[in-house]
Structure 1
């Protein structure tokens, strides 16, 4: 049974069915002159039926810069076993007789295009990384941690030491209360990027998270502020606790109550904390932009 195709007129030598027996000739040898994408699939696999036609469309648009070989794993389990394919669809890219890239699952066509463009050298990697990071940042602000992690990971797949992507991925770990995971990501930061604003912001967030109170301690803090709204020390403590728990917006709100009461409270302690939270939120985040506008209105009133 053949996998569904996007176009029955696709040339045989551009997109073809392969087998274990023909793998050396169809993939390894051909990849020494042109990149070859291998799609491991099976007739019973729903996601395979989604991926196949979309991937064929992208390969065909490449106009000969890449070839595609489709291998039914039910009929040909040998090569997929050697490549340790555990789930399908599984796609591998070969170049110069070696696997150079891979992914699992049915991806949207835009990501398939990026996969092929990277393989053929047609991708503007810098531009693609910026787009992925921007989309991931938006997902992060919306609370979509899965989407953010996927796009940050894709950006790092293209540029392993990109500071914005590393900082973003660390923030995803922090959002999931995994401080050690965030620290692990930061270990990949190059020496020259240690002071990058994206990395500095995450380090500040880690510092706050490490000193965060337990959930049981939050209720008394809130109760104290509710009972004594003019107790700015208690409010500042609550702001520190909220920031440590990842509620940067809530922490900023408490600081603004202090600043609206006394701009230079305790030698600008609240203002300095607010600036640190801007760093944590990220220089380009909407939260920081709104916070800076609000602070400016207090400074120049």
Structure 2
């Protein structure tokens, strides 16, 4: 699942090569014009130096694969093959043009979000299935304490679509929940560049880092005793927050960090607030513990 610095690789296998492929000037006729007589064909015009292209193409491939053959994707490097894009008036990339019955019928420019790309393709071919249908099942298993079952579903989604970052993030978190931190770290290191800013991957990375931190903290009872002896022992309170979070006590973990902020905002270079933000990344922005702690944090910082 490792990425590269240029255009994402065409998916291997005979069926996938027919569904998603690269083309050039000489093969544009059979790959696009002739093929569009059978079903719509999307042409993704890109260039190696185009950063938005690197963001768009994995999402395009994902949605095309979920369409199960109703639409095909052909990618053309305009640096190497400028004649066709010039003829079509492509002046800015990324640009996607849909062909049907040998004619360009629709298109868009720029790195659109997945929902808009899915809507664009559905206007051409009708409703298509979404791998997200299985994601809630996996998340429910993970939340219910069955990381093995969750991992099986996440892995199944990734088998069909390796670019599904929500499933990839879920798989990493499943390994964390199962205590297999090294496996989680190994999968995280293989995340392609296009997915590093995806919220699911951000959450997975935070979960791995928090698990690593939790492995280094002291005994829970000893930490609580140290704080009772000295309420300004911020290091012990900080470690207690990490330990509580590892046990699923999110509200209590947040409250310990909030107490550090209340007592000394500048401690450890604003370390308590930064740690709390990492909790938010790992928990999900709409988690009740996140919402509650964020309100309390705002009250401390702005009251």
* TM-score normalised by the chain length of structure 1: 0.50
Higher RCO (CA-CA < 8 Å; seq separation 6+):
2
* TM-score normalised by the chain length of structure 2: 0.50
Task: State the structure with more CA Rg.
Answer: 1
